Chains A and B, each alone.
Chain A
């Protein structure tokens, strides 16, 4: 896993940092997946994989449930 960054923190709290008001909700949903997956730090919408990874590594899980507005 890469080290956390300000960008990652922004992703976590606000969704996708690069949004503009003109983007519609569909774009936001699609961009969220693209950008969060590209960060390399997150397992996206795949909880069983998360649990398997936690069992394998012995790490705890951090599960963010985020409704993209």
Chain B
């Protein structure tokens, strides 16, 4: 009875919405195409010769990889790409390790000062990076960290956002598991690493995705802390390369494409995880 009720109701609903649904779908689809238009034109132009740039066909009449060869042969892009990858990977690993450790400690340990430390870390969310760059720059120049990987990386090694996110998730881990491990004689570090961490893998992947993406696209601090071109990250490199190649749009588009392709590939491979990660981080954070 309930089944038939539900199905008639569903059918009724469907009839109501149907024409609207087609319109909605079409509009959404067109909107989506508009959203990727800049990306399509970027790729299309990167496959054109300088003479073809002015014809605005989306599919180049004689696609060529010459621009990519020209840009990559230069060597700088390869260097910038490696810099960005190295920095993003190291900072992400550091975030996953320390933010989880601190989040776990704040969620699962009882000690005096816990709430104070939690509030102190949380309060750093209110401090914008832009306010810290001048002191960071001063610190870096005094300690010789300007123009070094460490100089680019050190401000982001731990984040309040990640700590807060991980704390939320560790609070959901049942204490019984941890107690059982304690009875088995595991030390606290092993309990965290071997027992608790595997139980919050979705949160770890959300944190890792955010951290990697944020560091991969980071522009402001790397722009300030690096002056030698060998140490540029990809975004800073693309910016300086584009500024110096004046109006050679096909080369500029090729540089932009090189900066965009890796994240798009990662996204295509991990679409579900990324979308779920963003949802998790957005809802909990």
Do A and B interact? no
